[in-house]
Structure 1
Amino acid sequence: MLLNKCSSTREPMETSAWVLTSLDSRTDKNCNGKKCLLSMLFINAVFIIVFFWYENKPIRWHYESRLRCRQEMLYDKPQIFKPPRSDVLMVTPWLAPIIWNGSYNIDILNAQFHQRNVRVGITVFAMKKYTVFIKTFIETAEQFFMVGHKVNYYVFTDRADDISNFTLPEGRQLVILEVPSYKQWQEVSMRRMEMIRDKANQRFYKEVDYLVCVDVDMRFSDFVGVEILSDVFGTIHPGFYNAQRGSFTYERRQKSTAYIPTDEGDFYYAGGYFGGTVEEVYKLTNFCHKAIMTDKHNSIEAIWHDESHLNKYFLYHKPTRILSPEYLWDNNFGVPQFLKRRRFVAVPKNHNEIRNKRAL
């Protein structure tokens, strides 16, 4: 049980003897006719006001202060020798937690983030025909994403008219950000680092505390809350959660700024799910955008575009929190035993149809 008490003290109530003695003294010296009567009434009135102020107001204040300051939360005591999970890695060598089902108490976390009045922004890119995914994304997010917290949905799109209006509860809003269109989906993928960086510098820092940057062709299928929030976080790619670093699809060409040697690397992070504070997301996206532009100047394109540069960034700027594959999954991979929850899953689609030029 967490218990914080704000104790309040009350000055001891002075007895009425002093007032009565003063009254008797004044009465002996000045008591004559109406003047004496008025003086007595005045002094009695003052005595009554003082008495009730001391006796009642401190009691009410003390009661209200206990309601405000005393917080109780009941939960099982953490056990030093009984970790919540022993089947998966719970912490990295640099002491960043890896978030799995059972590794946290969401009630404690919600209470902490509510005290800070945190607002979360979530960014998606709905370019060209990808606007068809917005409805499912928003509707499932309203069921499962940051429930009970303030949220801004930032939708980058070149087809604002294709996005329906949504009725959202108080504290949650949809913000449409119109951006230029690009011919190739690869360029959209790389340019999103630049767009997030620019908006973080222009407006996000004034409107939200944290940013969560995800792909739009997904749906929430279980709760995702403040347990993911940290200075800067990445997500383990569902296709490489148990792979050796040599098989990671890092950029292996030394000419690219995204190059990572075969004997380096911690995890393979997904480009479709990262975030952190606005300041840290700005640093990340600024790094990636500059690297992408350098590669473009050198006539090279990293093998997995912005995801390759994201992995290079996280190799030398370690994330302070890592999300397990629970937070980004594709049901085509099946359901391994360690996966207790599938919180954010890919929507089945025909990539060629969505990306085909004739469909754009």
Structure 2
Amino acid sequence: MLRNMSKTHVFIIAALILMVVGAIYIYSGNDISSLSVCQPCYVVPEPDRIIVDTDVVEKEEIKPVPSSDKWKIGDLTMPSGVKYALPSTQIGRTDVNTVTNWNAPLVWEGTFDPVVIDAIYKKMDPRIAVVVFAVGKYTRFLRGFLESGEKYFLVDFRITYYIFTDNEKEVPRVALNKGRKITVVTVPSATRWQDVVLGRMKWATITIDKQIRQEADYLFMMDIDSVFHGRVGAEALSRLSAVLHRGYYKRTNRDDFPYERRPQSKAYIPIDEGDYYYTAAVWGGYLEDMYNLVKYCYNMSEEDKKNNIEAVWQEESHLNRYLLYNKPTKVLSPEYLWSDYDSVPSDIKVVRISQLVKNYAEVRPNGGH
């Protein structure tokens, strides 16, 4: 009886092996000799896709972001055994200011230890969303942004790039590091570059509310016509991080800042008020705080539209007003957004991100005007 059962088992196993080999044979195009194993063998995954509801942003209360069961914002614990240089209370940057007048860090190269700050945040293992818009001819900048981001941006952290585009066929297949992925969000085209800029706040508000809020702990809004040139790490993370505009960070007169000065606009800042001028090309923070800010910029732009006015620098004007009265918890130096148009001064020790030189009249839908 046992002998018969053993034979039966052998026949069953043999049949299963033949079925598996046959399946491999069919899958390989009837040439089993063509199968090979490569180490490492990496396949670039297809991006996820989202189609946003383009009709309306629902008027509803801001929902709380689901809290992490691993950490809460403000935790500064790190693993033991990390080796790093002893910090000094006497030596540091003396050529620049490193703290705001509301006692928030002003981050420059030489004001933090990348080993320490990354170790703290890697222990938290946060999920980080990067929102970029590549509409019209701006899809040409995607590959450079993504490939350089994989080399320099929050390396070894979990990242999802949310690419908002009107032409998903032009989203390149880019090899991503472990724990990182691309999600494509389909949005409408625009006939004016100003509408692309203002539309960012609308589509980002919808998508954060409907999906991103379930998938991320931090969020960065970034311009796609940029390239990473140096390390950007966890020192950029905070509840709300804003970047000093390269063209105005040395200005000491508030009159020089290109704030919206017309009282009719919701972005209005009086002539005798203001701290810094922040760029809207890079900003980030804890997801709930970023959602508040993005939705604010969208709602205020809509209020301006009802009053037949458009802020002088679109969402950047609304961003600066919000940050005047809702102070950022961390201010990043212009290292975090320089420009290939400008020479690099001595106080910029490293260019981490830089905007590319381009022909605005050629890439913008309304010829740059």
Give TM class, smaller chain: 0.7 to 0.9
Where does 1:100-249 land on structure 2 (aligned, <5 Å)? 100-243=108-251, 244-249=253-258
Structure-1 separation of matches of 2:144 and 2:90: 43
Residue in structure 1 matched with residue 263 of structure 2 by the alignment: 254
Shift of 1:199: 1.4
Shift of 1:198: 1.6
Shift of 1:275: 1.1
Does residue 330 (structure 1) correspond to residue 339 (structure 2)? The answer is yes
* Cα deviation code 1:314-339 (max 9, x no counterpart): 00000000110000001322111101
Shift of 1:96: 0.9
Does residue 350 (structure 1) correspond to residue 359 (structure 2)? The answer is yes
* Cα deviation code 1:177-236 (max 9, x no counterpart): 111122111011011112212211111121111111110001000011111000011100
Q: Normalized against structure 2, the TM-score is what?
A: 0.76
Structure-1 separation of matches of 2:127 and 2:174: 19
Residue in structure 1 matched with residue 5 of structure 2 by the alignment: none
Aligned 8 A contact 2:230 2:350 in 1: yes
* Cα deviation code 1:136-192 (max 9, x no counterpart): 110111111111111111100011111122222220101101111221110110111
Structure-2 separation of matches of 1:279 and 1:356: 33
Shift of 1:70: 7.6
SS across alignment from 2:139 = helix
Residue in structure 2 matched with residue 310 of structure 1 by the alignment: 319
Find the structure with the greater CA-based Rg: 1
SS across alignment from 1:77 = coil
Residue in structure 1 matched with residue 291 of structure 2 by the alignment: 282
SS across alignment from 1:72 = coil
Aligned 8 A contact 2:136 2:365 in 1: no
Residue in structure 1 matched with residue 96 of structure 2 by the alignment: 88
Poorly superposed stretches of 4+, deviation over 6 Å: none
Aligned 8 A contact 2:360 2:367 in 1: no
Residue in structure 2 matched with residue 38 of structure 1 by the alignment: none
* Cα deviation code 1:246-295 (max 9, x no counterpart): 11000000100100011100000001111101100110011111110000
* Cα deviation code 1:291-326 (max 9, x no counterpart): 100000000000001100000000000000011000
Residue in structure 2 matched with residue 58 of structure 1 by the alignment: none
Q: Normalized against structure 1, the TM-score is what?
A: 0.78
Aligned 8 A contact 1:166 1:174 in 2: no
Residue in structure 2 matched with residue 63 of structure 1 by the alignment: none
Structure-2 separation of matches of 1:357 and 1:260: 29
Aligned 8 A contact 2:267 2:317 in 1: yes
Structure-1 separation of matches of 2:266 and 2:103: 27
Which amino acid letter does the alignment assign opposite residue 257 of structure 2?
F
Aligned 8 A contact 1:119 1:210 in 2: yes
Aligned length: 290
SS across alignment from 1:352 = helix
SS across alignment from 1:340 = coil
Query: % of aligned pairs identical?
Result: 39
Residue in structure 1 matched with residue 278 of structure 2 by the alignment: 269
Structure-2 separation of matches of 1:217 and 1:188: 14
CA distance 1:253–1:358, change in 2 (3 Å)? closer
SS across alignment from 1:168 = coil
Which amino acid letter does the alignment assign opposite residue 180 of structure 2?
R
* Cα deviation code 1:7-26 (max 9, x no counterpart): xxxxxxxxxxxxxxxxxxxx
Shift of 1:357: 4.3
Structure-2 separation of matches of 1:95 and 1:248: 22
Aligned 8 A contact 1:250 1:308 in 2: yes
Structure-2 separation of matches of 1:129 and 1:79: 49
Aligned 8 A contact 2:154 2:233 in 1: yes
Structure-2 separation of matches of 1:97 and 1:292: 30
Which runs of 5 or more residues in structure 2 are unaligned?
1-77
* Cα deviation code 1:44-65 (max 9, x no counterpart): xxxxxxxxxxxxxxxxxxxxxx
RMSD: 1.5
Structure-2 separation of matches of 1:214 and 1:172: 17
Aligned 8 A contact 1:197 1:281 in 2: no
Structure-2 separation of matches of 1:344 and 1:114: 22
Which runs of 5 or more residues in structure 1 are unaligned?
1-68
Aligned 8 A contact 2:84 2:115 in 1: no
Shift of 1:77: 2.5
